């Protein structure tokens, strides 16, 4: 059955959700306070880059199934299903700021014109959906029935469209059988297992999933750090533990820590939520702590190698928190680049898409190169911080040919250590034996 759907918030999640629902044949209106963004979207232009999204947006706009408005009244009129997909940024103390969710709830209360299901996609602390219902109930017209449901989002940046159409599972939390039925029907075409539960459990599932994945990363990083000291190779360790099906090899890539808009924010919010209820979540707290320390470990290696970094020309390859996006939120590159600048190194950075954004973040002491080759030319060392294809495919001899001293600090384990040994390069990575090139002994010990 085709539904009339409103999506409040045309940010990352709202946009992908709206476009996907339109693609399923529903009539979707996305509402956003940002009029510039709304105009842009109505012209078929995307404010973010996401593979495959533009094509879907254009096709559905053409078919008249999706439109954008800055007026909640217009967007919410006669909507049968209303998705809340606004941001929940962290407050200073790490807790989630719910002001945009609250304002969406009051808009729904003021402008919903018929019985509807309000679906929360935003990641919110356990208990928020009950609160959203109360905000709506307080202000809405008496004769309109509102059902509430939590339907958390698990999509990854860079593969958001694929993830939306191929989910591992769909979680629907509600206390209303009407909401369950409507959402089960809407989600049926995705052909994924549906976990039906109550509101609180659905909210908890989202935090627990992100915290668990973040914990896997901090776990592998700790084991990598120790492997390095003991002469073990983390790649073999992961392969050895991951073949145990209870562990699995996925999401155990060691590196300079997780970044992005979800893991850092959600682990801190969960930790905060625990402390609100006198429950210290020690595993989560430590996950955050290990992650905060991880970027500086690469810099420590450079300090050991050079002694003093002042005046050394350091190339930095990759700035975004992961490949496939220009997002710099909580990127490990932030603390590494700032650390190098504080040590008075001359930093020359390159990223295939994030440099424009990075230029607004790094104020002084960072130059930007227009290519990998330019960044490497004359450098005394290189820090690899994001595993973009254009970076991990650099041939080893390019380092030797371009750099003043070919010393590589690889925060993403882009190269095999044998390959670097053969190329006689000095190569320091995460959790693997160092290759010290022409030197006769390991300068880091």
Q: Provide the minimum distance between the beta carbon of 423 and ligand UDX in the complex, in angstroms, as a whole number.
A: 25
128 is in an annotated binding site: no
Nearest to 178 by CA among 147, 145, 132: 147
276 is in an annotated binding site: no
Q: Is 414 a catalytic residue?
A: no
Q: Which is nearer to ligand UDX, 18 or 72 (CB)?
A: 18
**Which residues between 256 and 295 bind ligand UDX (CB under 6 A)?**
258-260, 262-263
Binding mask of the shown chain, residues 221 to 250, with x at each position contacting ligand UDX by CB under 6 A:
------------------------------
Q: Which of 217, 290, 316, 414 binds ligand UDX (CB under 6 A)?
A: 217
Q: Which of 11, 72, 125, 255 binds ligand UDX (CB under 6 A)?
A: 255
244 is in an annotated binding site: no
| CA pair distance 376, 402, nearest whole angstrom | 6
Residue with tokens 């002042």: 310
Q: Which is nearer to ligand UDX, 107 or 153 (CB)?
A: 153
Q: Residue 21 phi/psi, 5° resolution?
A: -65, -35
Is the CB of residue 152 less than 8 Å from the CB of residue 203?
yes
54 is in an annotated binding site: no
Residue 283 CB: number of other CB atoms within 10 A?
14
Pairing verdict, β 81-84 and 66-69: unpaired
207 binds ligand UDX (CB under 6 A): no
Segment contacting ligand UDX by CB under 6 A, of 21-29, 153-161, 239-247, 268-276: 153-161
| CA pair distance 189, 184, nearest whole angstrom | 9
Segment contacting ligand UDX by CB under 6 A, of 93-101, 185-193, 222-230, 254-262: 254-262
Q: Which of 30, 116, 120, 262 is catalytic?
A: 262
Nearest to 373 by CA among 340, 334, 402, 414: 402
Nearest to 348 by CA among 315, 381, 318: 315
Q: Which is nearer to ligand UDX, 324 or 437 (CB)?
A: 324
Encoded tokens for 141: 């017209």
| CA pair distance 390, 352, nearest whole angstrom | 8
**Ramachandran category for residue 324: left, alpha or beta (phi over 0 → left; psi -120 to 50 → alpha):** left
Segment contacting ligand UDX by CB under 6 A, of 114-122, 130-138, 192-200, 251-259: 251-259
Q: Which is nearer to ligand UDX, 351 or 426 (CB)?
A: 351
| CA pair distance 145, 113, nearest whole angstrom | 10
Q: Which is nearer to ligand UDX, 109 or 119 (CB)?
A: 119
The CA-atom distances, in angstroms, between 27 and each of 48, 60, 75, 84 are 22, 9, 11, 16
Q: Which of 26, 147, 253, 402 binds ligand UDX (CB under 6 A)?
A: 253
206 is in an annotated binding site: yes
154 binds ligand UDX (CB under 6 A): yes
| CA pair distance 312, 314, nearest whole angstrom | 6
Q: Which of 23, 151, 157, 164 binds ligand UDX (CB under 6 A)?
A: 157
Q: Which of 147, 301, 305, 322 binds ligand UDX (CB under 6 A)?
A: 322
Q: CA-based angle 442:373:404, to the nearest 5?
A: 40
| CA pair distance 208, 202, nearest whole angstrom | 10
Q: Which is nearer to ligand UDX, 72 or 295 (CB)?
A: 295
Residues of this chain that bind ligand UDX (CB under 6 A): 153-157, 210, 213, 217, 251-253, 255, 258-260, 262-263, 321-322
List, by residue number, the catalytic residues: 262
């Amino acid at each position: 059955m085709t539904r009339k759907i409103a999506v409040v918030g045309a940010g990352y999640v709202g946009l992908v959700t709206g476009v996907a629902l339109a693609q399923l044949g529903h009539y979707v209106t996305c509402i956003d306070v940002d009029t510039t963004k709304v105009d842009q979207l109505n012209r078929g232009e995307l404010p973010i880059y996401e593979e495959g999204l533009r094509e879907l947006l254009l096709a559905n706009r053409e078919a008249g199934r999706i439109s954008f408005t800055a007026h909640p009244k217009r967007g919410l009129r006669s909507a049968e299903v209303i998705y809340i997909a606004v941001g929940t940024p962290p407050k200073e103390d790490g807790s989630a700021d719910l002001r945009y969710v609250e304002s969406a709830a009051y808009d729904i209360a003021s402008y919903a014109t018929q019985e509807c299901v309000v679906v929360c996609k935003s990641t919110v602390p356990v208990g928020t959906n009950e609160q959203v219902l109360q905000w709506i109930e307080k202000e809405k017209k008496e004769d309109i029935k509102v059902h509430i449901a939590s339907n958390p989002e698990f999509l990854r940046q860079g593969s958001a469209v694929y993830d939306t159409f191929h989910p591992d599972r769909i979680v629907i939390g509600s206390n209303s059988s009407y909401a369950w039925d409507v959402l089960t029907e809407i989600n049926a075409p995705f052909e994924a297992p549906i976990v039906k539960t109550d509101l609180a459990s659905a909210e908890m599932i989202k935090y627990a999933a992100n915290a668990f994945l973040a914990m896997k990363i901090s776990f592998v990083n700790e084991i990598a750090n120790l492997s390095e000291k003991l002469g073990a190779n983390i790649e073999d360790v992961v392969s050895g533990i991951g073949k145990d099906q209870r562990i699995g090899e996925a999401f155990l890539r060691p590196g300079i820590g997780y970044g992005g808009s979800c893991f850092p924010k959600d682990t801190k919010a969960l930790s905060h939520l625990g402390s609100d209820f006198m429950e210290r979540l020690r595993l989560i707290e430590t996950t955050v702590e290990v992650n905060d320390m991880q970027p500086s470990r690469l810099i420590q290696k450079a300090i050991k190698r050079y002694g003093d970094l002042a005046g050394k020309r350091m190339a930095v390859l990759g700035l975004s928190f992961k490949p496939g996006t220009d997002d710099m939120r909580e990127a490990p590159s932030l603390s590494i680049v700032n650390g190098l600048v504080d040590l008075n190194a001359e930093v020359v950075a390159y990223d295939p898409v994030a440099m424009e954004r990075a230029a607004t973040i790094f104020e002084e002491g960072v130059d930007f190169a227009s290519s990998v080759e330019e960044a490497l030319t004359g450098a005394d060392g290189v820090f690899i911080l994001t595993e973009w294809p254009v970076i991990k495919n650099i041939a080893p001899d390019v380092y030797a040919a371009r750099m003043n001293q070919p010393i590589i600090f690889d925060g993403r384990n882009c190269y095999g250590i044998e390959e670097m040994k053969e190329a006689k390069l000095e190569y320091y990575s995460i959790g693997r034996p160092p290759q010290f090139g022409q030197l006769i002994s390991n300068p880091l010990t």
